[in-house]
Amino acid sequence: MKILPGSTIGMLGGGQLGRMFTIAARTMGYEVIVLDPDVNSPAGQLATRHICAQYSEQAALDTMGRDCDVVTTEFENIPASTLEQLAADCPVRPGARAVTITQDRIHEKTFLQEQQIPTAPFAVINSEQDLRAASESIDTPAILKVSHFGYDGKGQYGISSAEQAQQAWQSLNREACVLEQRMPLDVEVSVVLARGVDGQVVTYPVAENIHEQGILDISIVPARIDDALKQQVIETATHIANELDYIGVMAVEFFVSNGKLLVNEIAPRPHNSGHYSLDACVTDQFEQQVRAVCGLTLGDTSLLSPVVMVNMLGDLWHGGNAPDWHLLLDHENVKLHLYGKQQARPGRKMGHYNVVADSIDAALILASEIQTRLHKPASPV
């Protein structure tokens, strides 16, 4: 059954992804209830109602289950028990199984291995014995990644020796981890897709991604890789979505290493590398999330023009002062998106901008020029 405008959508998580989803949903005529423990939740600012509570708080879950026609998620670290409880009262999309697999690196990589989908060589670390064995089987340089709650480079350590691996594991409080071989990179790419309740899948154009210190810096669309590799990206991501019986928007990140495609991570939600779609596609990824979780026909994902997306981190708020917005807004083809966050901190995602142009080169030149100027503190008057 289709869930139509006038209905209420529940959003678990209230950060910038939830905010952009809320904008799309309310524009389409839906009510949105956001559950997030942050009193200054960016999504909660714009929602019909913000329930400021933990994701396991029973009274909050009772309200969500009673008042929502469907519930979706903004990020993957929602307890599976929360999703399972809500699913007894209303549809939850994506479901608990898909989120449980993708929120844990061990489960995720094991799932990919079972599907015979190539990844970088890895080993599961649960004990000292595992770590010793992995140090012999996984070549260095390598990366030790905590299995739960790691994102944007957090909970990760570069490894060049067995001794360093031991020290890193101690720093991660001996939690379950994955030791992953660091592969030589040709390029990093990702694809955002949506899968509907009827199993229909639509994919967005493949993005080429550049990271700085583990955080996405720039996405270039369309990716500068050959068509055969783009098709392989799309087919692999579609296979993953089908095997997860996924409903909603998701992203799959890939490494291209010596011409070979390797899956890096699965994100069960809209994705930073899909923000370009807000200004360069017929249907952006957040409207698409509304369509998918409400059982509507999925939207056209056609690219309207080449585009470059640039993340804006708190580092740009020099001395607490906002960036010079003229650097962006004096350009007619630059689109600014801010996330409504109260405090700028180094490494914190505060917003992004999209540069649309007739060619990738033109978009990239202007995006890079603006980025360079934004990083320079304003001269004192």
Tell me, what's the pLDDT at 154? Answer: 67
Question: Is 110 within a domain?
Answer: no
| 287 shares its domain with 177 | no
8-12 vs 31-35, strand pairing mode: parallel
Give domain status of residue 238, yes or no: yes
Kindly report whether the global pTM for this prediction surpasses the value 0.85: yes
Same domain, 176 and 191: no
User: What is the phi/psi pair of residue 327, to 5°?
Assistant: -60, -30
Do 332 and 275 share a domain, yes or no? yes
115 inside domain: no
Query: What CATH number is associated with residue 174?
Result: 3.30.1490.20
Can you say whether residue 16 is alpha, beta or left, with left for phi > 0 and alpha for psi between -120 and 50 degrees? alpha
Residue 32 sits in a domain of what CATH number? 3.40.50.20
Which value, in Å, is the radius of gyration of the alpha carbons in the chain? 21
Helix locations, the chain, DSSP H: 16-27, 58-67, 80-87, 96-102, 105-114, 128-137, 162-171, 227-243, 277-280, 285-293, 326-329, 360-374
| Same domain? 340 vs 205 | yes
Is 85 within 8 Å of 68 (Cβ atoms)? no
pLDDT at 151 over 80: no
Q: What is the pLDDT of residues 269-290, one digit of tens each?
A: 999 999 999 999 999 999 999 9
pLDDT digits (tens, 9 = 90+) for 78-119: 998 999 999 999 999 999 999 999 999 999 999 999 999 999
Are 164 and 206 in a shared domain? no
Say whether pLDDT at 203 is over 70. Answer: yes
Boundary of a domain, candidates 163, 181, 199: 181
* 336 and 196 within one domain: yes
Amino acid at 157: Y
Looking at the structure of the chain, the number of domains it has is 3
Average pLDDT of the chain is 95
Q: Say if residue 168 is in the same domain as residue 197.
A: no
Asked if the model's pLDDT at residue 60 lies above 80, the reply is yes
The candidate with the shortest Cα–Cα distance to 51, out of 229, 42, 188, 61, is 61
Q: Which domain-ending residue is among 150, 181, 212?
A: 181
CATH code of the domain in which 322 resides: 3.30.470.20
Both 171 and 227 in one domain: the answer is: no
Mean pLDDT of 290-315: 98
* 209-261 pLDDT, tens digit each: 999 988 999 999 999 999 999 999 999 999 999 999 999 999 999 999 999 99
Q: Which tokens sit at 226? A: 């050959």
- Assess if residue 1 is contained within a domain: no
pLDDT for 152 equals 56
- The percentage of residues in the chain with a pLDDT greater than 70, rounded to a whole number, is 97
Structure letter (DSSP) for residue 176:
-
Joined together, the tokens standing for residue 376 give 């320079």
Q: What is the pLDDT of residue 381?
A: 46
Average pLDDT rounded to a whole number, residues 291-311: 98
C-alpha–C-alpha distance, residues 15 and 17, integer Å = 6
**Is 97 within 8 Å of 74 (Cβ atoms)?**
no
Residue 108 lies in a domain: no
Range of the domain at 13: 8-92
On whether both 268 and 307 belong to a single domain, the answer is: yes
**Pairing mode, strands 349-356 and 307-313:** antiparallel
CB 309 within 8 A of CB 354: yes
Provide the pLDDT for residue 148.
82
107 in a domain, yes or no?
no
- Residue 377's pLDDT is 74
Are residue 218 and residue 337 in the same domain, yes or no? yes
Identify whether residues 125 and 219 lie together within a single domain: no
| Confidence bin at 153 (pLDDT 50/70/90) | low
Claim to verify: residue 167 and residue 295 sit in the same structural domain:
no
Backbone angles phi, psi at 138, to 5 degrees: -105, 120
Nearest to 256 by CA among 248, 264, 245, 265: 264
Lowest mean pLDDT among 208-212, 304-308, 313-317, 374-378: 374-378
Residue with tokens 């913000």: 50
312-322 pLDDT, tens per residue?
999 999 988 99
Confidence of residue 334 (pLDDT cuts 50, 70, 90): very high
Distance, in Å, from the CA atom of 101 to the CA atom of 266, rounded to the nearest integer, reads 9
**Cα dihedral value 26, 27, 29, 30, nearest 10:** -30
Give domain status of residue 319, yes or no.
Answer: yes
What residue type is 72 in one-letter code?
T
